[in-house]
Amino acid sequence: MTGKETALLSQPRLRSDAQRNKEDILAAAVLAFAHDVNASLEGIAKAAGVGIGTLYRHYPTREALLEAAYRNEIKKLCDAAPDLLKRHRADVALAQFLERFIDVMLTKRGMIEALRAVVAVGGKTQLNQSLTMIADAVGPIIEAGRAEGMFRDDVTVEDFFLIKSAVVLAGPEKGRRLATILLDGLRHGSRAPAAREGTRRAKNVARRRG
């Protein structure tokens, strides 16, 4: 076997090792930034079982690693969207998607705060990629909800982003209640089916008593 043939055969393994290194670095970064906004890159590299040079080769700046770690969490969230829609009505699927987003905010608070700090000082990130993933995940849910009459006809993905932004500003603790209120506003008739049914029953009881 020639040297060239040996090199060609080794390329898939090199690519596999590099991908595994990236995944290990991201997993270590998510854990580190979730607990400490100022987590050291050296500590992250050590936790991932790689050298600091390997970390910098994949993520040349702290900001690049932060954004990649956040995007990785958003990807996992978005990957679950089709299954949510398959198992639930569209309005429930959207509510659960937002609930899971709030869970990301709560459990990865340090990472998100660090990312916000980068944006606040004018740092460059690729957050648009994360927003695009969310839009692609939420779009089919909203379309299904409109088609089935569960959402108002004028509901858009942009409306979901407005809700998401309001929830982010409110924080994870207050955000859950706010999310419920705002999502109810997207439903057809501006009220949740259960709430409408409860109101109807209450009126019927009042009429009988009257």
pLDDT in tens, 183-206: 999 987 644 444 444 444 444 444
CATH class of 1-60: mainly alpha
Backbone angles phi, psi at 155, to 5 degrees: -70, 135
Higher per-residue pLDDT: 157 or 70:
157
Amino acid at 106: L
Higher per-residue pLDDT: 142 or 13:
142
Backbone angles phi, psi at 40, to 5 degrees: -80, 145
Q: How confident is the model at residue 118 (pLDDT cuts 50, 70, 90)?
A: low
Question: Taking the complete model, does pTM exceed 0.85, yes or no?
Answer: no
Residues forming CATH 1.10.10 domain(s) in the chain: 1-60
Average predicted confidence (pLDDT) for the chain: 81
Residue 30: what pLDDT?
87
Residue 189: what pLDDT?
64
**Angstrom distance (rounded) from CA 45 to CA 24:** 9
**Angstrom distance (rounded) from CA 140 to CA 160:** 12
Beta partners for 187? 151
SS3 150: coil
Q: How confident is the model at residue 16 (pLDDT cuts 50, 70, 90)?
A: confident
Residue 193: what pLDDT?
46
Residues forming CATH 1.10.357.10 domain(s) in the chain: 66-209
Q: Is a pLDDT exceeding 90 seen at residue 86?
A: yes
Residue 87: what pLDDT?
96
Fold annotation for 66-209: Tetracycline Repressor; domain 2 (1.10.357)
Q: Read off the pLDDT of each residue in 129-141 and give the average, rounded to a whole number.
A: 93
Q: Is a pLDDT exceeding 80 seen at residue 172?
A: no
Q: Is a pLDDT exceeding 70 seen at residue 18?
A: yes
Residue 162: what pLDDT?
93
Q: How confident is the model at residue 159 (pLDDT cuts 50, 70, 90)?
A: very high
